[in-house]
Structure 1
Amino acid sequence: ELSSPSPCRLQPQPSGVTMDDSFLTEDKSTQKHNLPQKRRTLVSDSVVLEPQIGQTILQNRKPCSDDYQMRAGSCQQHPFRTAKPRFLQKLENYLRKELLLLDMGTDSTEELRLQPYREIFEFFIEDFKTYKPLLSSIKNAYERMLAHQREKIRALEPLKAKLVTVNEECNERILAMRAEERHEISLLKKEKMNLLKLIDRKNKEKISLQSQVTKLRKNLAEEYLHYLCERDARKILIADLNELRYQREDMSLAQSPGISGEDPVKLTLALKMTQQDLTRTQMELNTMKANFRDIVPRRDFEMQEKTNKDLQEQLDSLRASYEEVCKEHKILMQLHMSTLKERDQFYSELQEIQRTSTPRPDWNKCEDVVARGPEHWKMLAEGKNSDQLVDVLLEEIGSGLLQEKDFFPGLGYGEAIPAFLRFDGLVENKKPTKKDVIKLLKDAWKERLAEEQPLWPSMVFRSRVLCSIALGPMFLNWAYIVFENIKFFHSNEVMSQFYAVLMGKWSENVYITQKETVAQLLKEMTNADSQNEGLLAMEQFSTILKSTFPLKTEEQIQELMEAGGWHPSSSNAELLNYRSLFMEDEEGQSEPFVQKLWEQYMNEKDEYLQQLKQELCIELHEEVTLPKLRGALMSIDPSLDKQTVNTYISQAFQLPESQLPEEGDEKEEGIVEILQTALERLQVIDIRRVGPQEPEPAS
């Protein structure tokens, strides 16, 4: 029945009979077939539907013909009936049953709900032989599109994890800012309390001094009255003494025998003159009393004047102190009000953040997820913060994903794709261990360090290193394997450094120079160890560090010594096993001493570039000329030689050193670059201070 449909079904329908009428007639004749199996039922019903579809297509082939117009008119007179074909009803019933079974299950997904539709579509493909190629191509196209969408969804999963990491970093920064602000607020409160106590103390001193001034004034008034009384008593005493003296003289004159014999006229004249002298003397005495009634002795006046001057100076000093305290109090009140406003603002921000922030993660939940169990997770999580724990968890998940993948999809041939990864297709995953990849990278670096040629360009080095990992047609496999591994393991020192060089974030001479510095330091320590015991005194260790790194500060030397095992409480005669400072574990991780050297190097580079930016005195988005950059480099580091300056400028402006114009040439003014771009390019290479930094002139 499927291969040879009945001829009567292919004949055109009469003008008065529509397609649905014939189908109903056919459907009535086939109602006796009730197959128990769903496949057999769908096949039997498809016989009815396929000829009608072909017949409909044949009828609609020539819409402009007279036959078509007659059928159109008849269709307007006899509209189609609404009965469905039996095959369509069977398919709908089957789809409804399958969906009902899936809805009854609690774990049904969209992928499972799509399966009944696939089966119905396969029934169409298998049963309609005529349209099978077209339907198969449609089905394959949709399946390819679904597979492509699944790959895109899988590729977006790391972005979700990265979003969680960024959210965690923001939360940590917010918490750190809050802690710092709380600390500053507590310090300001303590300072406010101290200042309030100082104001109270000054006020008490002022009251005490005012009471002393009042008491001294009272004493001065009493002394003044006392001296007035003494003066009056002295004047009265002098008058009494004069009176007694006069009386005594009169008595002596009266008793003198020679007087009786003198002339009375003469005596009268003498008495008259004496009375005149007495009157004149009395007037002078009264004048003196009137003029010098309020006069005190000079010694007492000078003493009181000195005391008054001292009190006035104390009063002026207290008045100045009081005014200064008032000004400080006013400033503190303003600062207090601003602090209150900031506190209210921070409190509102804290409430908003508490309302919108996510809770802290419970890292103990990862014990059951990590492959090697809780003990392995505790060992990995020991002494790490949340950011580092996220990296550890991502590395564990990434290592598991790498082991599950059998193939890596090629990244294509786009310009943004690195040259060593340009491939279209599937690349086999050899699934090496982490130690194997680290050993390959260390061997590649050893081969690179053994080269006697000058430094290669970074792109040539990256390609050659990857070529040295595997030979022949296996290059692409190992290129993708190494790239995928170092992309996940950021906490590993060897992988992270190689990834930075591979992606162009660092130049290879940064790594090589750092290794040469560590080797030179080990050589200096070995030369100082005359007995070759592997031990050095702390004093020798400090001397070697200062001679090897003359530009480092005392704080940096002390940090290196502490990273090497020295403590401030230990003596300089204590011995140090210096060889253990340069050892590496099985995964290539260095000791804290070498890590501290690398950390100080990166900090010194950032500080050097920051000084260069400050010397240029322009914004990051503004342009900098070649002579201005040359002058800024020579200003912050006068010990730079011409070759080193040309190397830095060549990197900043991306020009070969042979094409750089001579210093002072007019063409230099035409070479410009954005400052931010120039600083980012200088960050890539090994840039450091050559000579000591000149001290700033005293203001």
Structure 2
Amino acid sequence: MTSPESRDYSFSKSRKYPRSSGVTIDDSFPESKSTQKPKLLQKRKTLPVQFSVSGQLSPWPTYTSGQTILQNRKPCSDDCRKRTSSWQQQPMGIAKPRYLEQLENYLRKELLLVDMGTDSSQELRLQPYREIFEFFIEDFKTYKPLLSSIKNAYEVMLDHQREKIRALEPLKAKLITMSEDCNERILAMRAEEKHEISMLKKEKMNLLKLIDKKNEEKISLQSEVSKLRKNLAEEYLRYLTERDARKILLADLNELRYQREDMSLAQSPGVWGEDPVKLTLALKMTRQDLTRTQMELNTMKANFGDVVPRRDFEMQEKTNKDLQEQLDSLRADYEEVRKEHEILLQLHMTTLKERDQFSSELQDIQHTSTPRPDWTKCGDVVAGGPDRWQTLAEGKNSDQLVDVLLEEIGEGLLREKDFFPGLGYGEAIPPFLRFDGPVQNKKPSRKDVVKLLKDAWKERLAEEQKEKFPDFFFNFLERRFGPSDAIAWAYTIFENIKLFRSNDIMSQFYAVLMGKMTESVYINQKESIAQLLKEMINADSQNEGLITMEQFSTILKSTYPLKNEEHIQELMEAAGWHPNSSSADLFDYRSLFTENEEGQSEPFVQKLWEQFTVEKDEYLQELKQELGLELYEDVTPSKLRRALMTIDPTLDKQNLNTHLSQAFHIPVSELPEDNEDESIVTRLQTAMERLHMSDVKRVGPREPESAS
């Protein structure tokens, strides 16, 4: 056996070359670590070790580069130099060590035996490599703890992977079960769709049968009309034949009458006693009358030979009129049936589209639907307990409750922050937030923030408003807290008002500060509420703070004459009026305008603000409809001026110019006149967004269409 030092040195030389890495294993290895070690020692005894000439393990194949590597190493002890010189004295033609060849042959045989097995696995293929690694651990005593720890680490990782694979097998079975369940649901839905399709097909067949029946009725009516026309033609021919026979009969009767008269004259005894000249003259005159009468008769025949008797004409005309009415009625019935058929087809197509749409929506809902949340659970996690959560959630829908919950969570996270990250000095950053570096969180209460915002509004209303609102806000903070703490308070106030959107004062201040709403909107709304309170105070003659509901309704209608009855009723209900209550009941009107310590207004003031927003949206939508343009089209000041005057005829010139200035973002002095050539245009969508930010409202009622 070689000394530990020689084995350690040879191992240090050989570890500079890469060795094979880990192998994937299975959990079917039958033997434990305790039973493996005796077998490994028995096998190790059968493997002789090949020594080098100098009594050390051979450094093959490091003889080619060992010298260069040793030159780059740091200076070592004399033993290292001796070993280096002994290696340098070795001949260049050293073959592969016998010990290495025996290890490779042993590994090859073991792998071959494993591959010949019927149930060989990756765990069995890993066993020969483990044995080789055990040989190295037993040979290199100095590095045995390190190599043993490496082997134990890999064994622990392999055991962990086995346990993880076993844990994932139930999940795989559960996944298969869920897949089968989903397939069954899909098959059930398809069966339901097939049943619905069959029902629609039956309905279609019934409609087709109805259409065939109507077509048959139409064909029968057409055949009846053709039959009536044929009968009319036959009657007409019969009447013509009768007319001709009548004419012939009249001619025969006239001829017989003439013959009878001639015979009576010939048989009369007084005729022979007459003068022949007189008789000749009478005969001549009679013949002339006969010729004239014959000519008149021929003229009458030529003119009125084809004339039908009036009675027959009227009878045929009446029959024709009846048939025409029947035909028109049948045509109307046919047109109505045809229209009904088209409507039914359209309804059928619409039903199919709706069926497909509802089916897709049903699938989306089934995939994305979630159970309705139990909001009472939030009372256990919100600060203040269930009582405070009940106060916060009163009268709010699910969307508003989500906002309230997010505010509560965000407030907790905001108080945990000690510093805010600076946003830098970019152009997109508001001026009062331009700072680079961490900013201290002052952590004020919500009450302190509301009080600070109220003071800022008071100071803003007291000055002339020459500077922009963001600059004023930062200057106000500098005057209040000093230049050193102004930026910290700016970040703190900004994060608070951005979080608490349900708070009226914070949300309105945030909208004005970020340019989403002009100051005039907030100021005019406050003035309107103050004017309403003033009217109520004037109506309170006893100065007791009480008025009747009837007085309250009258004041609302006089202060807001453009509000309809529905909006007036909403305001009265927000003030506490109920349909069953009497109009003579007194109530405290001053409580409608109070605010709590956190700046939250009463429902009446909130309803006023909500109605103001709705009325502005309706006014702008009416303006868009009057313009008749799409949002991507351009609009000029003249078009917008005419549209505003159409929907709001009582709008004065000052407010009109103010609206145009805000819509086109230019000063009032630069606005062109209505009859001038305008080169100022802007996108309709941009103009509508600017008007929505400003204080736009109706001044007077729109004139009715008949009057205009």
TM range (shorter): 0.5 to 0.7
Task: Kindly indicate whether residue 66 of structure 2 is the aligned counterpart of residue 19 of structure 1.
Answer: no
Retained in 2: the 8 A contact 1:648–1:687?
yes
Task: Kindly indicate whether residue 424 of structure 2 is the aligned counterpart of residue 412 of structure 1.
Answer: yes
Retained in 1: the 8 A contact 2:662–2:691?
yes
Aligned partners of 2:451 and 2:676: how far apart in 1? 51
Aligned partners of 2:144 and 2:674: how far apart in 1? 90
User: Please, which runs of 5 or more residues in structure 2 have no aligned partner?
Assistant: 1-62, 101-135, 162-202, 211-321
Q: Aligned in 2, Cα 1:569/1:323: closer, same or farther, shift over 3 Å?
A: farther
2:573 aligns with: 562
SS at match of 2:619: helix
- 2:551 pairs with 535, 540, 543, which one? 540
1:690 aligns with: 699
Normalization by structure 2: what TM-score?
A: 0.54
Aligned partners of 2:447 and 2:65: how far apart in 1? 82
Aligned partners of 1:647 and 1:444: how far apart in 2? 26
| Stretch deviating more after TM superposition (487-496 or 317-326) | 317-326
- Match runs of 1:222-233 below 5 Å: none
Aligned partners of 1:694 and 1:91: how far apart in 2? 97
User: Please, which runs of 5 or more residues in structure 1 have no aligned partner?
Assistant: 1-12, 31-51, 53-70, 107-191, 200-310
Aligned partners of 1:435 and 1:346: how far apart in 2? 50
1:608 aligns with: 619
Q: Aligned in 2, Cα 1:25/1:88: closer, same or farther, shift over 3 Å?
A: farther
Retained in 1: the 8 A contact 2:474–2:490?
no
SS at match of 1:17: helix
- Match runs of 1:282-293 below 5 Å: none
Code of the aligned partner of 2:705: E
SS at match of 1:670: coil
Retained in 1: the 8 A contact 2:418–2:440?
yes
SS at match of 1:408: strand
Task: Kindly indicate whether residue 532 of structure 2 is the aligned counterpart of residue 521 of structure 1.
Answer: yes
SS at match of 1:427: strand
Aligned partners of 1:445 and 1:471: how far apart in 2? 19
What is the aligned-residue identity percentage?
Answer: 55
Aligned partners of 1:103 and 1:388: how far apart in 2? 52
1:681 aligns with: 690
Retained in 2: the 8 A contact 1:381–1:389?
yes
Q: Aligned in 2, Cα 1:526/1:382: closer, same or farther, shift over 3 Å?
A: closer
How far is the alpha carbon of 1:697 from its aligned partner?
Answer: 2.9
- 2:663 pairs with 645, 649, 652, which one? 652
Q: Aligned in 2, Cα 1:402/1:564: closer, same or farther, shift over 3 Å?
A: same
| Stretch deviating more after TM superposition (603-612 or 15-24) | 15-24
- 1:586 pairs with 558, 581, 597, which one? 597
Aligned partners of 1:657 and 1:89: how far apart in 2? 92
Aligned partners of 1:77 and 1:620: how far apart in 2? 89
Q: Aligned in 2, Cα 1:86/1:600: closer, same or farther, shift over 3 Å?
A: farther
SS at match of 1:483: helix
SS at match of 2:411: helix
2:232 aligns with: none
SS at match of 2:632: coil
Code of the aligned partner of 1:651: Q
Q: Aligned in 2, Cα 1:422/1:658: closer, same or farther, shift over 3 Å?
A: same
Task: Kindly indicate whether residue 415 of structure 2 is the aligned counterpart of residue 403 of structure 1.
Answer: yes
Code of the aligned partner of 2:483: G
Q: Aligned in 2, Cα 1:542/1:385: closer, same or farther, shift over 3 Å?
A: closer
Cα-Cα RMSD = 4.7
How far is the alpha carbon of 1:642 from its aligned partner?
Answer: 2.0
How far is the alpha carbon of 1:547 from its aligned partner?
Answer: 1.3
Retained in 2: the 8 A contact 1:605–1:683?
yes
- 1:333 pairs with 336, 344, 348, which one? 344
Q: Aligned in 2, Cα 1:399/1:640: closer, same or farther, shift over 3 Å?
A: same
How far is the alpha carbon of 1:89 from its aligned partner?
Answer: 11
1:275 aligns with: none
2:484 aligns with: 473
How far is the alpha carbon of 1:373 from its aligned partner?
Answer: 4.0
How far is the alpha carbon of 1:329 from its aligned partner?
Answer: 5.5
Retained in 2: the 8 A contact 1:458–1:507?
no
* Alignment: residue pair count: 444
- Match runs of 1:63-462 below 5 Å: 326=337, 330=341, 333-334=344-345, 336-360=347-371, 362-364=373-375, 366-451=378-463, 453=464, 457-462=468-473
Code of the aligned partner of 2:446: K
SS at match of 2:444: coil
Q: Aligned in 2, Cα 1:19/1:649: closer, same or farther, shift over 3 Å?
A: same
Code of the aligned partner of 2:398: S
Aligned partners of 1:317 and 1:592: how far apart in 2? 65
Retained in 2: the 8 A contact 1:455–1:509?
no
SS at match of 2:635: strand
Code of the aligned partner of 2:68: T
Aligned partners of 1:611 and 1:421: how far apart in 2? 39
Q: Aligned in 2, Cα 1:658/1:350: closer, same or farther, shift over 3 Å?
A: closer
Q: Which whole-Å deviations, capped at 9, do the CAs of 1:68-120 have from their partners, x for residues lacking one?
A: xxx9xxxx99999999x9999999998998899999999xxxxxxxxxxxxxx
SS at match of 1:664: coil
Q: Which whole-Å deviations, capped at 9, do the CAs of 1:341-382 have from their partners, x for residues lacking one?
A: 144213421342134314236345545543444444444334
Q: Aligned in 2, Cα 1:418/1:315: closer, same or farther, shift over 3 Å?
A: same
How far is the alpha carbon of 1:334 from its aligned partner?
Answer: 3.5
SS at match of 1:18: helix
How far is the alpha carbon of 1:572 from its aligned partner?
Answer: 2.2
Q: Which whole-Å deviations, capped at 9, do the CAs of 1:147-196 have from their partners, x for residues lacking one?
A: xxxxxxxxxxxxxxxxxxxxxxxxxxxxxxxxxxxxxxxxxxxxx9xxx9
Retained in 1: the 8 A contact 2:623–2:647?
yes
Aligned partners of 1:384 and 1:561: how far apart in 2? 19
Retained in 2: the 8 A contact 1:490–1:496?
yes
